[in-house]
Amino acid sequence: MDLLRRLRRRTHWRALVVGSALFGLLPLFAACAPSNSIAATAGLPTPVPPSAVSTLAPARPLVTADPNAPGGPQLTIENFNFTPADITVAAGTVVTWTNNDDVEHTVTASDNSFGSKALEAGDTFSFTFSQAGSYTYFCSIHPFMTGRVTVQ
């Protein structure tokens, strides 16, 4: 009887040692595991990869340009937006874009019928829309930036 009790006690002791050893190793395994996620910093929004951002429509301020302005409507590129993003003009109108951002942008037609070089801060690009139609364009550096000129 005494032997059996001693044996049981030893088994309990062994289980305790093995158990604590395993649990003690757990944080080590967790620390060694490759971390694919970036923890959000307190107070900051969770980071979103650029590929996800490009699927979102950028916020567009409700600003209009005078389509009949002398010399043609003046559009701006500001805060990664073409402003206004949508404009309707008469055939033969010269449309001018001015880059007001500190980063380069382009004005690139979706059908490649017109296109600017990389516009630095303050640079302008003008195009004469002589044919009626709907012309969508984007920035080739930031393809989520889109706009449209409708020519009547």
Min separation Cβ 105 and Cu ion, Å: 3
Closer CB to Cu ion, 139 or 149, in the complex = 139
State the pairing for strand pair 124-129/133-138.
unpaired
Closer CB to Cu ion, 88 or 104, in the complex = 104
Terminal alpha carbon distance of the chain? 104
Min separation Cβ 137 and Cu ion, Å: 11
Whether 134 contacts 110, CB under 8 Å: no
The residue type found at 24 is G
Interacting residues with Cu ion (CB under 5 A): 105, 139, 141-142
d(CA 20, CA 7): 20
- How remote is the C-alpha of 26 from its chain's centroid? 37
Min separation Cβ 20 and Cu ion, Å: 58
Closer CB to Cu ion, 91 or 118, in the complex = 118
Closer CB to Cu ion, 64 or 79, in the complex = 79
Closer CB to Cu ion, 65 or 141, in the complex = 141
Min separation Cβ 33 and Cu ion, Å: 39
Is the peptide bond prior to 84 cis by the omega test (within 30 degrees of 0)? yes
State the pairing for strand pair 81-83/108-109.
unpaired
Min separation Cβ 81 and Cu ion, Å: 10
